[in-house]
Structure 1
């Protein structure tokens, strides 16, 4: 089986696909992995991958996304701020990914299946229409339309429904489902003209039609199928999805590349900590709160491992020099089980790794689904939200969040044990792909 994987987004979007590539390679399948040039270092490099995985760099990085944030071509004047976010996403897809269609198509031709992240979905659907192979659409957040709870951008209503404050019936279910379809329609409309050019470039006679997207996201299209790749222990299984929607759980929460080995000085630092340190990391996001973080840690006299560029942290004192370890990058699946809690922006990838590690999640969100994860985990007693948002967080808010987070230690540990004893999502997805390709 030869599978083409296409991922666009942050580190949290890339790692699940690198994990899937590694698992497919171990099962002796061939993989072509498309990912951004700034995510190349995450690609698997173990022996099986050297033989079975070919990495293709997309000619842009996550930093290129920010050019569309201030003035997206669509949605900026809409009263719903989520529509502006959809406009930003549409520009990222249209201006960065779709121009790569011919290069990706040349690799997809002759393959057995395509697996795509959310931002790569429109291109993957077009390629599926052209070549007729199975296309798997991976959702790292709960984005498949359902009547059981509204889209996560309706944060409070969504969380109330998830934790069972109200049973959804009749008109409520219709209203919930409509919150998804409204945003899907906006994204389709924002992309339609530019996506039609891509269809023409690929030699497709007809332009995309929204009814196809409706069929796919309802689970009623046998060629295109969706995978929910988030923790079902936190977000419940929806019972109104179609036959072609599967729930496997996270793909990268246990992923440690076989060729990776921890820096010896990091190992030594962890061994000398009398109590597990806090881990702090913000993925591929820029950070201007480094000094606040250092002041917080020193005031609590709490040791920490900080994952990311050290240049964000300029207020280095004698105490922080001895008690804080900086590492540019480290697999959270390896690091977090050795820490007491995880302080992050709350992206889906780091949330899943934190849950599996069985430690509290302290989230200072910035955008998108991060606010949803922060509030949901706090409601479930698995973590806390630190302040209102990352750009405005203060030292006092950080101190308070860390103290409150300690109260979530036992419940987090219990959930972590449950997740660790279950089947890894990446193994389940490989089985699904094998079955789909065999039937095709």
Structure 2
């Protein structure tokens, strides 16, 4: 049983693992949010009764907005998701439960079924280390205090304790075994070329490499294919991020690209970017989405929000980045890419102007040789194979 929750970047890797495991003869069921935008054709997939796309479209990405709407939207959504995870896992009765950190009821239902549970992280927010603070909690190194920052993730369990108890009323005996067992293993679906393994992670933590399907690369539609053949271009995408003024950000990206003689493939995503009407021309193509694996390899650079999935996709393509972080782990990845020589220092989205983006683009293009080398190394990884080897060895 695979259980995930969050935006598209949280769902695509689980879908990839489901396909790989199914191809190797395993019976797999995937529990995922509604309207994720991920192709799950051919998979045994069930809904977890929450729509993160709707939450972001309605309330944006602001943490304070989320707090204000906790009672009306966020809280009820999490409550439904936690209960659905228990219901669907009980119905499937799996031998192993693999779950995203947000699926807080997964350990309890696995314990009730006598099955091991495995935690899967795309950002190491739960697994502590002294080498860096918990991504999304603190944005600077605290030295010996870094490990303490990982306690913040455990606060979610306290916040949703009553909802977890309600969800676990479905279990035999009407309650969860207490305390829940620790994960049998933790899968860090992260490239060691982007985040070297911390020395103090225990042996049960496996740095597998990113979960990516080579066979999943789609061909772009003819208009996109024609555009990417038409001369030097960049790709801009902020994924599921939607905050502030998307037209102003679109203008900044397009005009900064023109300052470098680049055309712009503008992927508007869930509303983070938009193209002002007076900037429409042959050197700009704006559309909601395009297969990144198909359009990135020929790009001069990528301007993106720094989500874990996008970071790995851009790195795999061998393309340098300009990271414009919005929230959560994105500043962490922006700093990490800069540290590795794959990007300039990140440009926070509130500071995104031509004055900041034009020089950042110039710095990014100076990273092309380094990015190409890392891309070759990342493409050689088989994160799905490594993950499946751990799971079948439990």
Fold equivalence (TM over 0.5):
yes
Cα 1:405/1:322, change in 2 over 3 Å? same
Mind listing any 5+ residue stretches in structure 1 that lack a counterpart?
A: 77-84, 162-171, 217-223
Cα 1:255/1:58, change in 2 over 3 Å? farther
Q: Is the Cα–Cα contact under 8 Å of residues 48 and 85 in structure 2 kept in the other structure?
A: no
Cα 1:200/1:26, change in 2 over 3 Å? same
Distance 1:116 1:412 in 2: 32
| 1:57 alignment partner in structure 2 | 47
| Bigger shift: residues 321-330 or 226-235 | 321-330
| 2:79 alignment partner in structure 1 | 95
Cα 1:25/1:60, change in 2 over 3 Å? same
Q: Is the Cα–Cα contact under 8 Å of residues 220 and 295 in structure 2 kept in the other structure?
A: no
Distance 1:133 1:37 in 2: 26
| 1:257 to 2:216 alignment | yes
TM-score (norm 1): 0.78
1:130, distance to aligned residue in structure 2 (A): 1.4
Distance 1:102 1:183 in 2: 24
| 1:406 alignment partner in structure 2 | 365
Write out per-residue CA displacement over residues 79-117 of structure 1, whole angstroms, 9 at most, x where no aligned residue.
xxxxxx9x99984773341232454234332x2222212
1:284, distance to aligned residue in structure 2 (A): 1.9
Local SS of the residue matching 1:430: helix
1:34, distance to aligned residue in structure 2 (A): 1.7
Write out per-residue CA displacement over residues 132-175 of structure 1, whole angstroms, 9 at most, x where no aligned residue.
112221110122112333323333217xx7xxxxxxxxxx2xx3
| Bigger shift: residues 279-288 or 97-106 | 97-106
Cα 1:330/1:19, change in 2 over 3 Å? farther
| 1:267 to 2:257 alignment | no
| 1:17 alignment partner in structure 2 | 14
Write out per-residue CA displacement over residues 272-327 of structure 1, whole angstroms, 9 at most, x where no aligned residue.
22x3x211111122252223323323343311222235985242346x42012234
Cα 1:101/1:372, change in 2 over 3 Å? closer
Distance 1:435 1:57 in 2: 28
Q: Is the Cα–Cα contact under 8 Å of residues 8 and 119 in structure 1 kept in the other structure?
A: yes
| 1:306 to 2:303 alignment | no
| 2:116 alignment partner in structure 1 | 134
| 2:99 alignment partner in structure 1 | 116
| 1:434 to 2:392 alignment | yes
Q: Is the Cα–Cα contact under 8 Å of residues 306 and 325 in structure 2 kept in the other structure?
A: yes
| 1:154 alignment partner in structure 2 | 138
Report which of the two has the higher share of helix.
1
Distance 1:145 1:92 in 2: 29
Q: Count how many residue pairs are aligned between Structure 1 and Structure 2.
A: 382
Q: Is the Cα–Cα contact under 8 Å of residues 33 and 52 in structure 2 kept in the other structure?
A: yes
- Aligned residues: CA RMSD: 2.9
Cα 1:425/1:204, change in 2 over 3 Å? farther
Q: Pairwise mapping of residues 20-419 of structure 1 onto structure 2 (< 5 A)? A: 20-39=17-36, 41-45=37-41, 50=42, 53-66=43-56, 69-70=63-64, 91=75, 94-101=78-85, 103-109=87-93, 111-120=94-103, 122-143=104-125, 144-152=127-135, 153-157=137-141, 172=144, 175-180=145-150, 182-204=151-173, 206-207=175-176, 212=180, 215-216=182-183, 224-252=184-212, 255-257=214-216, 260-273=218-231, 275=232, 277-286=233-242, 288=246, 289-309=249-269, 312-317=273-278, 320-387=280-347, 389-419=348-378
1:332, distance to aligned residue in structure 2 (A): 2.0
Mind listing any 5+ residue stretches in structure 2 that lack a counterpart?
A: none
Write out per-residue CA displacement over residues 9-60 of structure 1, whole angstroms, 9 at most, x where no aligned residue.
1111111111112212222322212222222x42343xxxx3xx21223333
Distance 1:242 1:102 in 2: 28
Distance 2:255 2:360 in 1: 14
